[in-house]
């Protein structure tokens, strides 16, 4: 594994000076993923905040070959490029070792790009797909996605007198990808950067399709102060809302287990989108959210062969 000194010395693949919001954790997640990838990389990104803020014409923040994709086809594009690379390599026209990374937000991954991601994973391309999950369609004004947490206030699932935010629990996308029997799948968080770094290195070194789901807190979308993004990511892990684990050789493994599992309220209380959960009349919703986190955490512990 590369040392911190080696990581810091690497030429950045994404330059500073892009147009992301102050305190944008998706941007940090991209930096962490790309720093973890040594050598030649070709990347693509589905339409969404990160594609928009890094490619405002006539500028680009990308120091590597980058392909702009529509909302639904980041995985399809990169799998096509990877297939072409295999042909050129076989014919001796390319000799370099090149890695391929497709990025997408949760809207572009959990929802609209799911079929192209599923196809790429099933066909077995030697590529890494990274989902930066900021838990809503942020670029277009905070609409709910199938990754949005239960009871979160969004523009299309708002909090009012009758409805109290999103009604459904988030889709278990990492598990859906694991069901494809991929070479490697993991959940990571920029708050645990060493863990994320190791997962990216592993995903790129393994032959075959790999997937990493990275939690990426969004200050305007989640409504927390812009210097608290990493703390939001850390609390999502410490409350077990966002467990850090990986899937390899048919087995799931926790890569971090909180010493003391914090209640979900430690995470929700800092975020404007959950403000209503901390009012007396909505306490039952907070309890419901906690029960689902506990249920999923216990299910994962059992799958990982761990005790509580």
Ligand X SMILES: Cc1ncc(C[n+]2csc(CCOP(=O)(O)OP(=O)(O)O)c2C)c(N)n1
Residues that bind ligand X (CB under 6 A): 47-50, 71-72, 105-108, 112, 134, 137-140, 145
Specify the residue, 37 or 112, whose C-beta has the smaller distance to ligand X. Answer: 112
In angstroms, the CA 272 to CA 142 distance is 13
Residue 239: Cβ-neighbour burial (10 angstroms; 0-12, 13-18, 19+)? buried
Comparing every residue's Cβ against ligand X, the nearest one is 105
Residue with Cβ nearer ligand X (103 or 184): 103
Taking the complex as a whole, the smallest distance from the CB of residue 219 to ligand X amounts, in Å, to 13
Strand partners, 87: none
CB nearer to ligand X: pick between 73 and 191? 73
First to last CA, the chain: 30
> CB–CB of 45/104 below 8 Å?
yes
DSSP for 27-82 reads: HHHHHHHHHT--SEEEEEE-SSHHHHHH--TT---BSS-EEE--TT-HHHHHHHHH
DSSP line for 261-273: PPPTHHHHTT-GG
Q: Which is nearer to ligand X, 131 or 159 (CB)?
A: 131
**Cα 172 to Cα 306: distance, rounded to the nearest angstrom:** 20
Shortest Å, Cβ 287 to ligand X: 28
Q: How far is the CB of 137 from ligand X (least distance, A)?
A: 4
- Measured CA distances, 61 to 18, 22, 158 (Å): 6, 16, 34
Q: How far is the CB of 86 from ligand X (least distance, A)?
A: 28
C-beta of 105 vs 165, nearer to ligand X: 105
Closest separation between CB of residue 50 and ligand X, Å?
6
**Smaller CB distance to ligand X: residue 71 or 211?**
71
Nearest distance in Å: CB 107, ligand X? 3
């Amino acid at each position: 594994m590369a040392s911190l000194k080696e990581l810091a010395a690497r030429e950045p693949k994404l330059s500073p000076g892009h147009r992301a919001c102050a305190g944008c954790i998706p941007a940090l997640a991209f930096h962490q993923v790309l720093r973890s990838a040594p050598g030649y990389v070709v990347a693509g990104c589905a339409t969404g905040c990160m594609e928009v803020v890094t490619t405002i014409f006539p500028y680009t923040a990308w120091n590597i070959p980058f392909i702009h994709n529509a909302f639904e086809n980041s995985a399809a594009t990169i799998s096509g490029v990877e297939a072409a690379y295999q042909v050129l390599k076989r014919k001796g026209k390319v000799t370099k070792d090149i890695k391929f990374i497709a990025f997408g937000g949760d809207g572009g991954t959990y929802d609209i790009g799911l079929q192209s991601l599923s196809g790429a994973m099933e066909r077995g391309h030697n590529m890494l797909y990274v989902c930066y999950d900021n838990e809503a369609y942020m670029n277009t004004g905070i609409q709910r996605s199938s990754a949005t947490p239960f009871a979160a206030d969004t523009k299309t699932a708002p909090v009012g007198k009758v409805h109290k935010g999103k009604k459904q629990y988030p889709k278990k996308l990492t598990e859906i990808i694991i069901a494809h029997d991929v070479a490697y799948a993991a959940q990571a968080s920029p708050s645990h950067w060493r863990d994320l770094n190791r997962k990216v290195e592993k995903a790129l070194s393994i032959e075959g399709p790999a997937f990493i789901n990275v939690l990426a807190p969004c200050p305007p979308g989640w409504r927390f102060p812009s210097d608290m993004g990493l703390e939001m990511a850390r609390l999502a892990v410490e409350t077990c809302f966002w467990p850090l684990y990986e899937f390899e050789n048919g087995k799931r493994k926790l890569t971090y287990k909180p010493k003391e599992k914090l209640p979900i309220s430690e995470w929700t209380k800092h975020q404007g989108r959950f403000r209503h959960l901390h009012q007396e009349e909505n306490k039952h919703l907070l309890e419901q959210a906690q029960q689902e986190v506990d249920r999923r955490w216990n299910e994962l512990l059992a799958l990982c062969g761990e005790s509580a």
